[in-house]
Amino acid sequence: MPKKKLLVLVVLFFLLLSLLGERYLAGAFKFPKLQFILVDENGTPLTKISKNVEVQVQIDALVPTDEVYKTIYYGTLKKPTILKFWDSGNIIKISVADQKIQSVISKWVEQYSEEIGTSFVISVWVLDYENKKLYRGFTIVNYEIKDMRKGFKKIVKVNIHKLPSSELPSNRTASIQGSNKQFYYWKVDWSRSWRPNDYIKIPILIVDNKYSSSGLINAWVDISREEYTNFDVTVAYGYKLSEKYDTPSLDIYSNGFPTIYGKFYFAESIVLGPNEKGYIYIYAKPYHLHEKEYYCTASLNNCVPTGEERIQEGINAIKTTGNNEIVGGSSKGLPDSNIMEKIYSGTTLKYATTLNVGDSKPLALLISEASGSCSTEFGIGLPVGALAVALSGGTIPPWAAGLSVGMHYSHSSSLVLYGGIKNYGELFGTGKNIQEYIYLGVSEYTYSVGNCNTKVPVGVYIESR
């Protein structure tokens, strides 16, 4: 038999053996798997954006405990050899039986039903050796605990061109393996981070009905159980943020990144006469995480910071009753003066609308008119940054006060159901029949929300004048 023909037969034999082996193993061990198929914003497998690419991936699972995130995976993806020409090599598979996955599940079911929605944060580094470029990216993958137990397959789109690219380090070469392997890694700097030990009051609507010559004002929040309510994460990137005391340059991203979600419901209102103040709040566990990127050789014990840093702010637990009612309430007066000072420092008041006697406006329109239509996708701004600065004992720098976390329905158009404000004028001898000029507090920072850049609400803090 000619040598060339023999070689072809040998290759075909091993190819068939490989296929049969994979099918046998898949049948022999029937543990469900979590499968993440990584592609860029255009749907191209991350391992195929050029001819010579290495993709490093870190997956962190949100948990409703003090650790906030648990790293469940760190690994490298590359396109396989020609013997697996059909495989793009861009799929991560994690067995549900994995101890880390089981730990995440147990932490959630201790506090919630299996219908609770939570998330993975996926961070990637795409090392393009052909073009000598390093691309960074992140995204959120959502799931419900009940689905996690059964395993799932998700296409994960990561926009690797949203953050600025950089040149690959000159000492970096392809396919470094073994004890000298080099890699990137995000690690929380707990000395610059904050999270409370227990649930705290988070103001979601603050109203100051200024001046003695004012109408009677009613403001309310109404969260419907018919919709999924999302609590998003806000991610802010910058260079050497830990060295900044004054306001740094930040690339801030939000919307479309819910960390926790569910069919919750909540209803509360406040009625304020002239010169009265009040606020509506919920009980939750917010977090402010300051992360640093490291460049490591061989192990996590041999790393140096790259200077790239990011802030993650979000909610990792909501206090609820057994039937998914969010625990909260309302109070006359303003939140603690230290918290209000930080809210004031991180926001600018913008005119939203004028309410004649008997007029009302939904929160969605107030937010849209004060800071643009994109802000309705962001939703109600939870002042996590201001809380972190106020309650951390000086750990969190003042510039973080303008960071806000969005709370909204899965469909942003449904935000109109979240509540509003009404001017009753004079009612039962309280207030006067006059117009009220409504102002809304918006963040000093510009956020990337959906497909546009905008200022977002913080508080939501409203002044009626």
pLDDT tens digits, one per residue of 123-143: 999 999 999 999 999 999 999
Range with top average pLDDT, 223-237, 261-275, 355-369: 261-275
pLDDT band at 254 (very low <50, low <70, confident <90, very high): confident
Q: Which residue has the higher pLDDT, 61 or 164?
A: 61
DSSP 228: P
Residue reference for tokens 């949100």: 62
pLDDT band at 174 (very low <50, low <70, confident <90, very high): very low
Sheet strands (E) in 240-346: 251-254, 258-262, 266-272, 276-297, 303-318, 328-332
CA nearest to 423, candidates 460, 464, 384: 464
Cα–Cα distance for residue pair 93/32, rounded to 1 Å = 10
pLDDT at 179 over 60: no
The dihedral through the CA atoms of 186, 187, 189, 190 has a sign that is: positive
Give residue 459's region: left, alpha or beta (phi > 0; psi -120 to 50): left
DSSP 249: P
pLDDT band at 170 (very low <50, low <70, confident <90, very high): low
Ramachandran angles phi, psi of 20, nearest 5° = -65, -40
Give CATH for domain 30-175: 2.60.40
Segment (H or E) for 18:
helix 3-28
Q: Give the β-pairing of 360-362 and 182-188.
A: unpaired
Domain-wise residue ranges, the chain: 30-175, 200-232+253-285+317-464
Cα–Cα distance for residue pair 193/204, rounded to 1 Å = 22
Percent of the chain at pLDDT > 70 equals: 86
pLDDT at 121 over 90: yes
Q: Which residue has the higher pLDDT, 87 or 432?
A: 432
CB 330 within 8 Å of CB 269: yes
Q: Nearest 10 degrees: CA dihedral of 411, 415, 417, 420?
A: 180
CA nearest to 279, candidates 149, 79, 419: 419
Q: What is the pTM of this model?
A: 0.87
